[in-house]
Structure 1
C-alpha cells in the first residue's frame, strides 16, 4: 500500500466545510440577494435565470451593493475540524457582481460557540487579501499549520460568491474516540482516502461520508472493466485500531454493484486479511462481524471486478499506540490559546500549561493529567 501523504493537488483532500459533512454558515453580515447557506452546498453551483422580489436569483451568497466603506463577512463552522491545505472561493455565474478581492481566516474554538462568541475568537490568516476573478473557481493553497474549527470569509467590499471550499486533513478531538466503538474510516473521525484505481463516476471520498447515501451519485463508482483486473480504493484510518465490524453498503447500486469484495489491512505486523473475498448483493447494506483482532492503520477495499459502492464503515477501537499518536497530532496542532485552555480544563495549573504548550511537540515525560488527556487510557 502507498503511504498516506498530502496530494500534489490539495483540492483532492476532503472539503471540511461541506454541508454534506455537517458544515454550516453560522453568521453573515448581509444576504440580501442570495442566502449564505448556499456557500456550502456540496453540488456544483447552477446557473439560474429566475427573478425574485430582490432581483435575479443566484446559487450562492450575495450581499447588497455597499454605499459606505467596509466589507462583508460570513462565518463557517467546519463539518470536520482539521488542518487546511487549500481554500476555493468559487464565483461561478457571478460576472458583474463578484467581489474583486477576498480574504479567509481560521480559528480553533472548543465546544459549540454561538456566533457572538466567535467574534472574540483568535482569528488567524489562512488566505491574505487576494484578487478574485469572476465566474471562476479561485484556488488558494494554504501552508498547513494549526487545526481550525471555524473559518471566516471576508469579501471586499461586497458581491456574490457561489461556493466556499475548505480542503484539508480532518483532525478530530481524540477524546471523542474514547467513548466507545467508532467508525475508524469516517471522514469526520479522520479517515482519508489515499489511493484509488478508478473514479470515473464517483469520488471515493464519498464512501466515508456521514449518513446514508441518498442516490447512486453519492457513492464511489468505477467505469466498466474490459480486462481481467479489478478495482480498489485505499484509505488511512483515523488512527491505528482493531476493526470489529465492517459495513459494505451497495445501496442504490442495482445493475452495477460489485460481485464480491475483500478488505486487507496494514499494521505493525504487516498485511492482514480483514475480510476475505465475499459475495455481495446489489442495493444491500452488508454487515460483517470480524474476529481477526489485528491492529491496522490502513485498509484496502478490493471490488471484483468493478462497480459502485455507497458507503464503507469500519467500526472498532483505537489501539493504545494509535490513540496516543492521534492525541499527540491533535494537541500539537492546536493553536496556543486553545491548547492552554484544554490543559487548564484538565486541571493543569496555568504556568505549567503555558510551559507545556511552549515546548511542543510534547516529549514522553508528561504529568499524569496531561498523559491521560493527550495519550488516553
Structure 2
C-alpha cells in the first residue's frame, strides 16, 4: 500500500518544480496506452517544451491542440492513459497543465502509480500515429494485464482550475516515499490536458551495480540533488546533473553577472582572472562514495562560461545538511576537502579531470562546485565508486572511518 501521501492543489509554484520531470520524453518517458487520441495524441503530454497555441492551424479532426485531447465521450466510462517514467524514483509532485484548453479541458483528474519491472510489462502494441483513433481491442486486452485500475492513488479525483489561457498549471504535492515506475492519468470524463509533469528524484538499485565500473554519483536520475546555491538567475543547478548532454544554454545552470566585478578586468601570469567574487552550488550525492573523475561541460556556453572552477567534497549527516541549509551553507572551511583545485575552463567544451581523491581515497556525501567569477555550465559529472555503507545518519563519534566497495583500489 502507498504510505499515505498528502495531496492537494497548490496556489503558487511549489519548490518541487525545480526537480527533474521524470515523465519527460527528454529523459526517456513513454506513453504506453491511451483510451482515445482523437483530437491530439497523448505523446504531447510528455513533450519537454512548454505548450503552444496556433490559433489558425487545423487538422482533419479539428483544431490543432498541443496536448492530449479525446473526443466527446458518448459511451460509459472515462478516458485515461499510462506513461512509463523515464526516470524511476520518488515522486514529489505533479503539474497537470491545461494551458490553451480553455473550453475543452478535462474538468477532473486523478493520478495512480505503480512500481513495475519493465520485463514484466505485457506485450503492448506500438502506438504509431494516433490522431483520430481510439484504443483497439488488442490494445485494451494487452493493457488490462497491468490491472492499472488497482494501482495506488497519489491524487484522488480533483477538479482542475483553468487559470489564464496560457498558464493553466494545477500543482499537486505528493509525500509518498515509495519508488514508482509507471503513472496512470485519469481524466473525467473526457477532454484535454496540455502537459503532465511528474517531478521527483531518481532512485537507483545500488546493490545491483558493478563494483568495478565507476558511476556518476551526483546524477539526478540516481537521486542526486542540489541542496543549496548562491545564484540561479537563468537556470537552476539541478539542470547540470540532468540526463544526457545539454541541449542548449537553457538546459544548464547560469548565474547573473556579478555586480562586484571590477571596472577593468585583469589576470595574473597564469591567465587566471583577478576577481574576488564567485558563485557556488552544493549537491548531495545520490550515494556516498569516492569520486575519481570530474567532468565539467560548458557546451553551448560560448560567451558566458566561467573563467575557472573548483570542486570540494565533505561528509555530512542528514541533520548536518538540514543545519547547513538553514545557515545558507556557511560551512567551516576545514570541513571541505579539495577534489579539484582552481582550474581554468574553456567555452563550449567538455573538460575531464582526475579527482584528487585518487590520492586521498576519501568518501564524501556532498560536493560543492564553485565557478569563478560567474557564468554557466551545461553538465557536472562526478564519477566514482559508491561506498559500502550509508553515511547519512547521526554520528556516534566525532571521527568515523569509512570503507569503499571492493574493486575500487584495483581500479587505481
The TM-score by the shorter chain falls in which range? 0.7 to 0.9
Give the 3-state SS of the residue equivalent to 1:240 in structure 2.
Answer: strand
2:147 counterpart of 1:120: yes
Equivalent in the alignment of 2:353: 288
Q: Is the 8 A contact 2:24 2:197 kept in 1?
A: yes
Deviates more, 1:140-149 or 1:109-118: 109-118
2:238 counterpart SS class: helix
Q: Partner of 1:51 in structure 2?
A: 58
CA distance in 1, matches of 2:228, 2:195: 26
Deviation at 1:201, TM superposition (A): 1.4
- 2:336 counterpart SS class: strand
Q: Deviations over 1:197-238 (max 9, x none)?
A: 222212222111222112222111111111142111111111
How far, CA to CA, are the matches of 1:230 and 1:92 in structure 2? Answer: 39
**Alpha-carbon distance between aligned partners in 2 of 1:46 and 1:119, rounded to the nearest angstrom:** 33
Greater RCO between the two (CA within 8 Å, min separation 6)? 2
Q: Deviations over 1:132-164 (max 9, x none)?
A: 122410111112232111111000011110111
| Aligned-partner Cα distance in 1 for 2:386–2:242 | 20
Alignment correspondent of 2:42: 36
| DSSP 3-state at the match of 2:86 | strand
Contact 1:80 1:172 survives alignment (8 Å): no
Please give the TM-score of this superposition, normalised by the length of structure 1. 0.80
> Partners of 1:310 and 1:246 in 2: how far apart?
14
Matched, 1:107 2:107: no
SS at match of 1:210: coil
Kindly report which structure 2 residues correspond to 1:139-288, keeping only aligned pairs within 5 A, or say none.
Answer: 139-178=171-210, 180-227=213-260, 228-267=276-315, 270-288=335-353
Aligned 1:324-363 pairs, distance under 5 A: none
Please state if 1:129 is matched with 2:182.
no
Q: CA deviation at 1:325?
A: 7.5
Q: Are the equivalent residues in 1 in contact too, given 2:20–2:242 (CA < 8 A)?
A: no
Say if 2:86 is the partner of 1:79: yes
The residue aligned with 1:9 is: 15
Q: Distance in 1 between matches of 2:392 and 2:73?
A: 49
Say if 1:184 and 1:238, in contact at 8 Å, map to a contact too.
yes
Deviations, residues 10-58 of structure 1 (Å, cap 9, x unaligned): 3333222222222111211111111211111122111222111111111
Q: How does 1:54-65 map to 2 (within 5 A)?
A: 54-65=61-72
CA distance in 2, matches of 1:190, 1:25: 23
SS of the equivalent of 1:217 reads: helix
From 73, 96, 102, the equivalent of 1:89 is 96
2: CA distance, partners of 1:148 / 1:252? 33
Q: Which residue number corresponds to residue 331 of structure 1?
A: none
**Cα pair 2:201 2:221 within 8 Å, conserved:** no
Report how many aligned residue pairs link the two structures: 319
Q: Which runs of 5+ in 1 are unaligned?
A: 1-6, 327-377
Aligned partners of 2:92 and 2:201 also within 8 Å: yes
Aligned: 1:25 with 2:31 = yes
**Residues 176, 256 of structure 1: CA spacing in aligned structure 2 closer, same or farther, 3 A cutoff?**
farther
Asked if the contact 2:18/2:238 (under 8 Å) is kept, the reply is: no
Measured against aligned partners, the alpha-carbon deviations of 1:256-275 in whole angstroms (never above 9, x if no partner) come to 10000010111279421111
Greater radius of gyration (CA): 2
Distance of aligned partners of 1:173 and 1:111 in 2 relative to their CA distance in 1, 3 Å threshold: farther
Contact 2:68/2:194 (<8 A) preserved: yes
2: distance between equivalents of 1:111 and 1:297? Answer: 30
The alpha-carbon deviation at position 239 of structure 1 amounts to: 0.6
Using the TM superposition, name which of 148-157 and 34-43 deviates more: 34-43
Q: Aligned with 2:384: secondary structure?
A: strand
- Distance in structure 1 (CA, Å) of the matches to 2:177 and 2:285: 21
Q: Which runs of 5+ in 2 are unaligned?
A: 1-12, 125-141, 261-275, 317-333, 394-412
